[in-house]
Amino acid sequence: MLQVVDRIEGLQRVNDFVVKFANVNGSGSASANALFAKAVLRMGIAATPRNIFPSNIQGLPTWYEVRISDAGYLGARGGGPDLMVAMNPQTWDQDVRGIEPGGYLFYDNTKPMPESKFRSDVVTIGVPLTRITNAAYSNPRQRQLFKNIVGLGALSALLDIDPTVIEQLFSEQFKGKDTLIQPNIKALHMGRDWAQANLQCPIGLTLRKSESVGDRIFIDGNAAAALGAVYGGATVCAWYPITPSSSLAEAFASYCARMRVDKATGKNNFAIVQAEDELASIGMVIGAAWNGARAFTATSGPGISLMQEFIGLAYFAEIPAVIMDVQRSGPSTGMPTRTQQTDLTICAYASHGDTKHVLLIPEDPYECFEFSALSFDLADRLQTPIFVMLDLEIGMNERLTKPFVWDDSRKMDRGKVMTTEELEAGAKFGRYLDVDDDGIAYRTYPGTHPTKGAFFTRGTSKDRMARYSEEGADYQENMERLLKKHRTAATLVPAAIETKAARPTKFGAIYFGSTSPAMSEADEQLTAEGVSLDLLRLRAFPFGPEVEAFIEAHDTVFVVEQNRDGQMRSMLINELEINPKKLAKIVHYDGTPITARFIAGAIGQYVNIDKVVS
């Protein structure tokens, strides 16, 4: 027996709602879910999907959540979904419980369910997906795969998605395997026709063609960073698989296969080595960069922990190295498939002894591409490790982002490298001589000149001419020069970006990385509530003078971040000698992406208490 649509008044929303798919692993649902998100985007409506998955391959539940927001909000909204596509019996109870009041529950009603399994304040939409597909297909694999497409067809009728958009996506997806196109279209319409014949379509949640996508592209941050490494001239990639960074190295391999194979010889203008561990990965990167190649590794927190000793060597011996850290929840194995901004201090001060490193912090895939390409110039220019700080939220989720741009006149900045000709002409070479008063000395590549310019690279202390020395004065001079170099770095990294409130305000908020879309949305909410905030988005460490000026100009500055201890706040206090009381800690670290609701709530609460007190 069919269960009919419950006639309670459901939410009425156009182009502004959240759909969540509860998946059964191994059922092929991922591809149908991605098609749904793409269809929304092709209708010109901004949408942001997120994979929610445990550290497991098969057998544990996963979800796919799509926030549709014609207003362009790309951060996670928070709260429950407005439409739950509940395909996983294992998570049924929690899925039903999570739906927003007045929301919709879409499910396969082939097998009847007891009434106690439903909610009275949620619109229930039952579609007999298994029965429809079993009647149409006999092959078990086809039944499984096409059930997802039949479901997508039913959803397209319920949400008023233009079916030709999905048909077009089929023809792109199966290009070269054309025989698959028609069966998919048929399954789509099977679901669509059933819904139109048996249910009231559309429901209160509908999609209408729009222009909010514009010319933006849709890509995940890991792929964007990998592409940035191709454009940045990286030739050596050494890596060790670790979630959530593995897809970065894999994307680099696939972009290289497309764009870095020498046409005349069929040989590779790159070398990618899957190392035996993270220690070997960073060792290879350092060896390659020492020898004049642009090299990088991609890793996550546990890998950074393992690389500490080598990072100290690269800092002290002044060797360029690019480390892409796709952060996840720590410590230890932590929550490997959940997002956090939790490696800030371990990267900024990596290794034993006094160190300070350069971090670049992208907010979205566009900046992942930009900063990745830039990191190789900075590494060569500064002769030091450069960290590109992604996180799982940016790295592993496809996101709408500005199209990538490249200026063909751009040249790689290889930094201060003394050439054979310069050595031959008698240029004075001392590996650690601060000739330009910027803390950066000249280096030579091995093999440059028969008699001049050779030096010994070591992790032990040395004098300006790279000779082993344990003299206190030599050691200290070197350490001071490294500090000077770090100050030079502050002038070369991307500056923080300030967004001023419409009215003068004593409140500021500092944020960075994947917090960006949630922060912008929270700011709008707070403004509507009468709370004005000036915003400063950090894009790098060390901090430029604009950061200190911003904090100086406000009475209270909220530092919004996704870790427990307020690591960026500590770094601001530490580096700029700020009174800690001035910096209010707003932290979100449960492993889910930070939301506008959370930020607006936390700041709103603080401001109201502040009002009461003052």
CA angle at 15 for the pair 104 and 8, rounded to the nearest 5°: 25
Q: Which residues ranging from 217 to 256 are in contact with other proteins (CB under 8 A)?
A: 217-219, 227, 230-231, 233, 235-236, 238
Of 40, 74, 85, 288, which one interacts with other proteins (CB under 8 A)?
Answer: 288
By the rule CB under 8 A, 148 interacts with other proteins: no
Please pick, from the candidates 115, 178, 211, 408, the single residue that binds other proteins as defined by CB under 8 A: 408
Between 405 and 502, name the residue whose CB sits nearer to other proteins. Answer: 405
Dist. CA 192–CA 91, nearest whole Å: 26
Residue 145 or 306 having the CB closest to other proteins:
306
Residue 560 CA to residue 353 CA, distance in Å, equals 29
Please, what is the minimum distance in Å from the beta carbon of residue 338 to other proteins? 26
Residue number with CB closer to other proteins (202 or 233) = 233
164 binds other proteins (CB under 8 A): no
Which tokens is 580 given? 């800690």
Asked if 537 and 511 count as a contact pair (C-beta separation under 8 A), the reply is yes
CB of 422 to other proteins, least distance (A): 15
Site stretch for other proteins (CB under 8 A), options 60-68, 92-100, 270-278, 335-343: 270-278
Closer to other proteins by Cβ: residue 437 or 470: 470
Establish if 177 lies at the interface with other proteins (CB under 8 A): no
Under 8 Å between Cβ of 78 and 596: yes
448 part of the interface to other proteins, by CB under 8 A: yes
Q: Which of residues 9-28 bind other proteins (CB under 8 A)?
A: none
Q: Which amino acid is at 574?
A: N
Site residues for other proteins, 456-515, by CB under 8 A, read: 456-460, 467-470
Tokens of 73: 């909000």
For other proteins, which residue of 36, 104, 146, 290 counts as binding (CB under 8 A)? 290
Amino acid at 579: N
Residue selected from 117, 119, 449, 582 as contacting other proteins according to rule CB under 8 A? 449
Nearest approach in angstroms of CB 540 to other proteins is 23
Taking the complex as a whole, how short is the minimal distance between the CB of residue 388 and other proteins, in angstroms?
18
Tokens, residue 425: 């002409």
Residue 258: alpha-carbon gap to chain centroid: 23
Q: Considering only residues 297-326, where is the footprint of other proteins by CB under 8 A?
A: 309-310, 313
State the burial class of residue 525 (Cβ atoms within 10 Å of its Cβ: 0-12, 13-18, 19+): middle
Give the binding range for other proteins (CB under 8 A) out of 134-142, 156-164, 192-200, 292-300: 292-300
Q: Are 223 and 252 in contact (CB under 8 A)?
A: no
Q: C-beta of 288: minimal distance to other proteins in Å?
A: 4
| Whole-number Å distance between alpha carbons of 229 and 222 | 11
381-to-283, 377, 418, 419, 596 alpha-carbon distances in Å? 20, 6, 13, 15, 38
Under rule CB under 8 A, residue 608 binds other proteins: no
Instruction: Give min distance, CB of 417 to other proteins, in A.
Output: 10
The piece of 183-191, 202-210, 401-409, 500-508 that touches other proteins (CB under 8 A) is 401-409
Write out the binding residues for other proteins, residues 249-268 only, by CB under 8 A. 259-260, 262, 265-268
Q: Are 231 and 405 in contact (CB under 8 A)?
A: no
Q: Which is nearer to other proteins, 289 or 386 (CB)?
A: 289
DSSP string, 226-293: HHHHHHTT--EEEE---TTTHHHHHHHHHHHHHHSB-TTT--BS-EEEE-SSHHHHHHHHHHHHHTT-
In this chain, which of 174, 349, 445, 475 binds other proteins, going by CB under 8 A? 445
Q: Which stretch binds other proteins (CB under 8 A): 126-134, 184-192, 446-454, 550-558?
A: 446-454
Min dist. Cβ of residue 46 to other proteins (A)? 13
DSSP 533-567: -EEEEE-EESPPHHHHHHHHT-SEEEEEESSSS-H
CA-based nearest residue to 272, from 290, 308, 305, 297: 297
Can you say whether the dihedral through the CA atoms of 482, 483, 484, 487 is positive or negative? positive
Smaller CB separation from other proteins, 26 or 403: 403
- C-alpha distances out from residue 142 to 9, 175, 430, Å: 37, 19, 69
Q: Which is nearer to other proteins, 202 or 287 (CB)?
A: 287
For the bound state, the minimum distance from the C-beta of residue 68 to other proteins, rounded and expressed in Å, comes to 17
Question: How far from the centroid of its chain's Cα atoms is residue 311's Cα?
Answer: 23
Report the alpha-carbon distance of residue 566 to residue 450 in Å, rounded: 52
* 454 scored as a contact of other proteins (CB under 8 A): yes
- Report the residue from 241, 287, 415, 601 that binds other proteins according to the rule CB under 8 A: 287
**Identified binder of other proteins from the candidate list 76, 159, 286, 379, rule CB under 8 A:** 286
Cβ 295 vs Cβ 375: under 8 Å: no
Least distance CB 228 / other proteins (angstroms):
11
Asked whether position 455 contacts other proteins by CB under 8 A, the answer is yes
Stretch that binds other proteins, among 61-69, 186-194, 327-335, 403-411 (CB under 8 A): 403-411
